[in-house]
Chain A
Amino acid sequence: MATPNTPLWEVFVRSRNGLAHKHVGSLHASDATMALQAARDIYTRRGEGLSIWVVPSTAITASDPAEKGMMFEPAESKIYRHPTFYEVPDEVGHM
């Protein structure tokens, strides 16, 4: 008999106070409580984290890689959004 599917969760771990939660991987669990426990065992066996988030994978809406041009090009062409676009004479010092 084929094994029935168990829901997929994405795991985010915050490594130290002050840093953001970072995606570390995914796992399968029947509910949120079990997902948290499994995340503890799978992703923090060596003190990697102080806080864990688990999110059902189905709750994530992702951008389409095929449309990444349209999505991100506007940021690429606006070099005036970067500090190095502006000239400040050396004499002025660090700014």
Chain B
Amino acid sequence: MYTQALNTAETDDRGLEDAAKAAQFQARIDAEERIEPNDWTPAAYRKTLTRQISQHAHSEIVGMLPEGNWITRAPTLRRKAALLAKVQDECGHGLYLYAAAETLGTSREALVDAMLAGKAKYSSIFNYPTLTWADIGTIGWLVDGAAIMNQIPLCRCSYGPYARAMIRVCKEESFHQRQGYEIMLTLCRGSDEQKAMAQDALNRWWWPVLMMFGPPDATSQHSDTSTKWKIKRFSNDELRQKFVDATVPQAQYLGLTVPDPGMIQDADGHWRYSEIDWTEFKQVLAGNGPCNRDRLAARRKAHDEGAWVREAAAAYAAKRVQRQTAQAAE
């Protein structure tokens, strides 16, 4: 999902740690206790969570770019106000998540610098372009819809600060998905051209959205420990299937066709999708998606152009402290 790069192998550095402490830690997890920042944890637990939460935060921040692209061109004032609020929410989500990640011991600045240096990942989905207004509807409906599927179980994640951030995020995501679906509904009830635009957006986003859930369970190397530590409660394929089952009827209601001719509904009512093109997924993660370079360049530009604001704020705060100290000395 927003943390796909976790699905890469990681060296096990738990060998040296106190086995008794580790057993105690696992017992707390098994008892559904929440782990808090100052509690003892295996180093790998912190490392995994720092990566997962910071990647999630980066995804929220980079995710503002494809949608921000349409704020000035939203078709009505109502749509513009809603999109502006949505993009502002994504920024807020990024900030809640950075705050949660920091409790694990890495500074905000170090996390952001890693992203800007291209060392930290963010979700593959934000490397696709938003070509038409229908893309904004599709992102709200599908991308935020997929995010909700992934984030609801994270509200019960074993790490307290992450779980609490997710509760806030989930409350707000529901507005995002509904505003997206409403855009799609309006287009699908509009002219033939508008409906064709909605179908075209669905065609382009469907497969990348399914890829958001990460590699198939058979090839995902990270899930075992994440499941044991109750960071992850459902597998990639389970969440993907849940999402497809929830989404197909919504597409049918819109009168749109899911771009998967091989899709069939099985006897249990599940919609079975065709093979996903994992080569494309790997290419996008490796930096070769349609917009990877553009997204990073935009983030770096914003960061660089904001440098004077950070410097001015720090200088002003330092001056005030200095003045207060001088007055106190008088």
Contact = CB atoms under 8 A, between A and B. Distances in A.
Given A45-B92, A62-B38, A3 B99 contact: no
A28 B314 contact: no
B278 interface: no
User: Interface residue tally of chain B, by bracket?
Assistant: 20 to 34
Nearest to A25: B99
Contacts of A89: none
Contact of B99 (A27, A41, A62): A27
B320 A3 contact: no
Interface in B81-125: 85, 88-89, 92, 95-96, 99, 102, 107-110, 112-113
Contact of A3 (B36, B88, B112): B112
Given A4-B314, A8-B102, A27-B99, A65 B113 contact: no
B189 interface: no
A71 to B, nearest CB: 13
A31 B316 contact: yes
Contacts of A62: 38
Nearest to B40: A66
A31 B320 contact: yes
Nearest to B171: A46
User: Interface residue tally of chain A, by bracket?
Assistant: 20 to 34
B127 to A, nearest CB: 24
* A contact patch SS: loop
Interface string B18-32: 000000000000000
B313 interface: yes
A42 to B, nearest CB: 5
Contacts of B112: 3
Contacts of B102: 8, 26
A31 B317 contact: yes
* B contact patch SS: helix
A4 B316 contact: no
Interface in B286-307: 303
A61 to B, nearest CB: 12
Given A3-B109, A8-B102, A27 B95 contact: yes
Interface in B55-73: none
B88 A45 contact: yes
A50 interface: no
Given A25-B165, A30-B313, A30-B316, A5 B107 contact: yes
A6 interface: yes
A29 B314 CA distance: 9
Contact of A65 (B38, B95, B164, B317): B38
A2 B113 contact: yes
Contacts of A26: 99, 102
A64 interface: yes
Contacts of A30: 310, 313-314, 316-317
Given A62-B38, A65-B36, A65-B39, A31 B113 contact: no
B95 A31 contact: no
A34 interface: yes
Given A2-B110, A26-B99, A64 B310 contact: no
B311 to A, nearest CB: 9
A65 B38 CA distance: 7
Interface in A30-61: 30-31, 34, 41-42, 45-46
B113 A3 contact: yes
B99 A34 contact: no
B116 to A, nearest CB: 9
Given A45-B89, A66-B40, A3 B310 contact: yes
Interface of B: 36, 38-40, 85, 88-89, 92, 95-96, 99, 102, 107-110, 112-113, 164-165, 168, 172, 303, 310, 313-314, 316-317, 320
16 contacts: A2-B109, A6-B310, A25-B96, A27-B95, A28-B108, A29-B313, A30-B313, A30-B316, A31-B317, A31-B320, A34-B313, A42-B96, A45-B85, A46-B172, A62-B38, A66-B40
